[in-house]
Structure 1
Amino acid sequence: MAMAMARKISKEEIVEKLKDDGDFDRLRLKIIRRLKDNEELRNNMISVVKESTALNRPGAQNMKTRQLSDAIFEEVGSKMLSQLSDGLWGIIRSEEGMKNEIRETVQSVYATLSNPGGEKCRLPEHKIRTPVPGGETSSCPVSKQKQELIHGRVEESKGEACSDEEDPELPPGFA
């Protein structure tokens, strides 16, 4: 008996599906909200601007808003962008930040692409309990029987979709 060859899922397909389903925008907005809510980062940036020589030089109060803004950005822009970048990556990579949610979303999309025509492995609101590394699960209002069925399908599809060289726990590009 010949077993059907599993189709290799590319990184581009996963990213395209994330964009098409709105997952990318949803995650991006959550990250931006968390960045905006970072009081320490906000206070650091306010302090940098208040201490800038462009803001404190004689005649600064007579400058047009755009001119003053450009002068401040020219002086401290790279420092502020660096702080923003560090804050952003901190949110994306931290366990308390978005790391697990991003991983779960990507794994769910990968499982869906790996098992076309099979049982759907996710709901639009991403609330189905799906296994994640470390034995954790995401919460959802789905029956225990449905969870076990989905878990079985996800595990089956992982085995079929991955070659021997790949880690079956991670979609392409996330090793």
Structure 2
Amino acid sequence: MGMARKISKEEVVEKLKDDGDFDRLRLKIIRRLKDNEELRNNMIEIVKESTALKRQGAQNMKTRQLSDAIFEEVGSKMLSQLSDGLWGIIRSEDGMKNEIRETVQSVYATLSNPGGKKCGTSARKVEHKIPTPFPETRADSNTSPASKQKQELVQRVVEDNKGEACSDDNEEDPELPPGFG
């Protein structure tokens, strides 16, 4: 039997995407983010306080123009709040942290042992070898990949949910495109 080959982070992320785990986790995180009452109320307050909303003629603007004007004015404040909420969900033990870690470890174990026997201890054995519990590194990122991915994720959440911030009657999540960008 030859030496086990080293599995790269990129391979793990690709496998997560191919198997649908990436989208499943992302949808779960977005759903939790949407359910965060405190965050939603903070966002509503930020928008209510925007001068773009109070500007004369605002009621005559098209929804898209108005939302763009509001976002231009308070977007960075909203993104900062979203980012904090998002990473709170991802990092909290009772949030998604354990589920993300277990999913990544399972995929890593599968890649390390292709076609091999599924053994219950494989995830535990590889735990210390995984450089990061989160699929946040990108091959094409040179500076602070986690920070860049964080921005992309927050931006995607904002874009996917523009105009839906106040609608609670939508039980199902909208169909979201795969990946972050």
State the TM-score, normalized to the length of structure 1. 0.69
Q: Aligned equivalents of 2:62 and 2:109: distance in 1?
A: 54
The match for 1:140 is: none
8 Å Cα contact 2:105-2:130 kept in structure 1: no
Q: Aligned equivalents of 1:66 and 1:29: distance in 2?
A: 25
Cα shift readout 1:80-137 (whole Å, capped 9, x = no counterpart): 11111111111111111100000000001111111122223xxxxxxxxxxxxxxxxx
**Displacement, 1:65?**
2.1
Higher relative contact order (CA 8 A, sep 6+): 2
Q: Aligned equivalents of 1:16 and 1:64: distance in 2?
A: 40
Cα shift readout 1:43-73 (whole Å, capped 9, x = no counterpart): 0000110111111123222223222222111
Q: 1:151 aligns with which of 104, 117, 120?
A: 120
Q: Aligned equivalents of 2:27 and 2:129: distance in 1?
A: 23
The match for 1:24 is: 22
Across the aligned residues of Structure 1 and Structure 2, the Cα RMSD in angstroms comes to 1.9
Matched, 1:67 2:58: no
Shift >6 Å, 4+ stretches: none
Which ranges of structure 1 fall in alignment gaps of 5 or more residues?
A: 121-149, 159-167
The match for 2:136 is: none
Q: How does 1:42-81 map to 2 (within 5 A)?
A: 42-81=40-79
Count of aligned pairs between the two proteins: 133
**Displacement, 1:13?**
1.2
The match for 1:174 is: 132
The match for 1:138 is: none
8 Å Cα contact 1:9-1:172 kept in structure 2: no
State the identity as a percent.
Answer: 84
Secondary structure, in 3 states, of the residue corresponding to 1:169?
helix
Q: Aligned equivalents of 1:5 and 1:93: distance in 2?
A: 34
The match for 1:111 is: 109
Structure 1 pair 171–17 and aligned structure 2 pair: CA distance change class (3 A): farther
8 Å Cα contact 1:18-1:24 kept in structure 2: yes
Q: Work out which of the two has the higher radius of gyration on C-alpha atoms and give 1 or 2.
A: 1
The match for 1:10 is: 8
Q: Aligned equivalents of 1:102 and 1:24: distance in 2?
A: 9
Q: 2:88 aligns with which of 90, 98, 104?
A: 90
